[in-house]
Chain A
Amino acid sequence: MATAAQAYDRTDTAGQDAYERAFDAAVAADERIEPRDWMPDAYRATLVRQIAQHAHSEIIGMQPEANWITRAPSLRRKAILMAKVQDEAGHGLYLYSAAETLGTGRDELLDKLHSGRQKYSSIFNYPTLTWADVGAIGWLVDGAAITNQVPLCRCSYGPYARAMVRICKEESFHQRQGYELLLALSKGTPEQHAMAQDAVDRWWWPSLMMFGPPDDESSHSAQSMAWKIKRHSNDELRQRFVDICVPQAESLGLTLPDPDLKWNEERGHHDFGPIDWTEFWDVLKGNGPCNEQRITQRRCAHEEGAWVREAAAAYAAKHGNGTGEQQA
């Protein structure tokens, strides 16, 4: 689709303006920008930041759920959970590949994750304390992720948009499984019902925070929307999510922990209570319940695996049949 935004010839400095005009025209015409197309440096940097953060979130996001694989209460649930965590690793791989089309490398990105120079979604800094948390993550966290990510399937950068199409299909499946897990608990014994309610009580507000700060405090939003990386504002998506969740909570037989939550006939939306942004910024700064634990586990897995990656690289060098991708 590199029609309007032509391949970039770095020797042609006089043509810069023309490239920029072609890029703007391609974005305006809803065409996809592809890896070999010219793009503004800031557009490239924004995408690297966003896609990397997204990839990191998939990888760190494996931890809270993997925490329950060995304790899953039935073999069917265990299989579903294992498959889900495996999908997340796969999503991380798609996304690192998408980021690599922008001229960065997976090793470099992982390095930035491990050293705290790049972030991941703040939601994964909350602990999974009971089995019901696995369901709440599926229903609410994956639900919020899908609300955020479906518009990204139309994002202006082709490789990211195509990764999102594949990821969203699997995420929707996970979300339904999470809902179904909570439904089984909600309709189960009184203890199971209480476990489900407690999980929803703990995950509801953090899920709303996944949409990011309010529109007037979101530093990247305006530019991302102009570039059609983002299609909707944080607050718009958050409202859409709340409107979707309220009837779902009702059919689950569970309540949402917000006394201010009520239908507003005039707006055609649900009103909801204030979000504790102090907590949000605190978690983002590294002071959430599991920030330290999550990053330490990731770093340990990487460091303890170094000898394995070195072995694979040494073997490939000796035998010439490795891809070289696993070099440390």
Chain B
Amino acid sequence: MTADVTLDATTRTAALALGDDALVLSHRLGEWAGHAPVLEEEVALANIALDLLGQARVLLSMVGDEDELAYLREERAFRNLQLVEQPNGDFAHTIARQLYFSTYQHLLYAELAAGQGPFAPLAAKAVKEVAYHRDHAEQWTLRLGDGTDESRERMRRACGALWRFTGEMFQPVEGLDVDGTALEAAWLASVTAVLDRATLTVPEGPRTGAWAAGAGRQGLHTESFGRMLAEMQHLHRSHPGASW
């Protein structure tokens, strides 16, 4: 698949950002295969990973060759949010990451699907998948938050640890025509409501600024990301030019 030459450079920049989010989170969820707490979650996590991979393939193909983009770029060229590259941690960490991201992605895609922009067709299809991802994350947030003392403590810790990566989602992305302020307000309202129902409080601490994360879109990532890419790209890079 090759790049759609009718797309302008800023649209391709945005496609790369959204595509990298989906690609990287899909990869992280793929790491759960064979390790999930119940068989139903083996199915659910793989299902979400597959949906995201499908989205990534469409988005990356708007920019260029999907495999070249996935396998032959180095860390500094990836444009994903730092949130999605965070290691899985325990199940609560994975669910907190999923809650933060799928709430954002669902609100974003709903807006894109309603518009006339270049992402409308993709978003119209993906928004249905993402609604399911969001529901899955919310249901587990409730169960872990309002489950046992241990699960509540783990969920609280996970939500807190990932909080500082959430501000980045609302920074403007070139080529992405959305109202970041409105998106952030809706996201915050939704996450607050879910955490509240889960008997948890919204984490304190900065979501932007010097010590908060927020440079993934500029190609500045966290340390674990390079290792993730090393694993993901190793085989492809070992056989230059081969087809699979």
Contacts and interface: CB of A to CB of B under 8 A. Distances in A.
Interface of A: 59, 62-63, 66, 69-79, 82-83, 85-86, 89-90, 92-93, 96, 131, 181, 184-185, 188-189, 191-192, 297, 300-302, 304-315, 318-319, 326
Contacts of B236: 73-74
Contact of A73 (B144, B154, B239): B239
15 contacts: A73-B71, A73-B236, A75-B57, A78-B30, A85-B42, A86-B42, A181-B244, A188-B243, A307-B151, A308-B38, A310-B147, A310-B148, A312-B147, A314-B148, A315-B147
A98 to B, nearest CB: 14
Contact of A307 (B43, B49, B154): B154
B227 to A, nearest CB: 11
B54 A79 contact: yes
Contacts of A189: 239, 241-242
B34 A63 contact: yes
Given A73-B71, A312-B143, A314-B148, 17 more contacts: A59-B39, A75-B56, A76-B57, A82-B30, A83-B50, A85-B42, A89-B39, A90-B43, A181-B244, A189-B242, A301-B34, A305-B36, A305-B37, A306-B37, A310-B147, A310-B150, A326-B40
A167 to B, nearest CB: 15
Nearest to B49: A82
A130 to B, nearest CB: 9
Contact of A85 (B23, B34, B54, B57): B34
Contacts of B39: 59, 89, 92-93, 96
A311 B231 contact: no
A86 B37 contact: no
A5 to B, nearest CB: 31
A150 B13 CA distance: 50
A305 B34 contact: no
Interface string B46-84: 110110011011001000001100110000000000000
Contacts of B43: 86, 89-90, 93
A184 B70 CA distance: 20
B147 A79 contact: no
Contacts of A308: 37-38, 41, 91, 144, 151
B244 A73 contact: yes
Contacts of A71: 231-232, 234-235
Given A90-B43, A93-B39, A189-B242, A305 B91 contact: yes
A314 B147 contact: yes
A135 to B, nearest CB: 10
Contact of A309 (B37, B71, B90, B146): B37
Interface string B112-145: 0000000000000000000000000000001110
B40 A85 contact: no
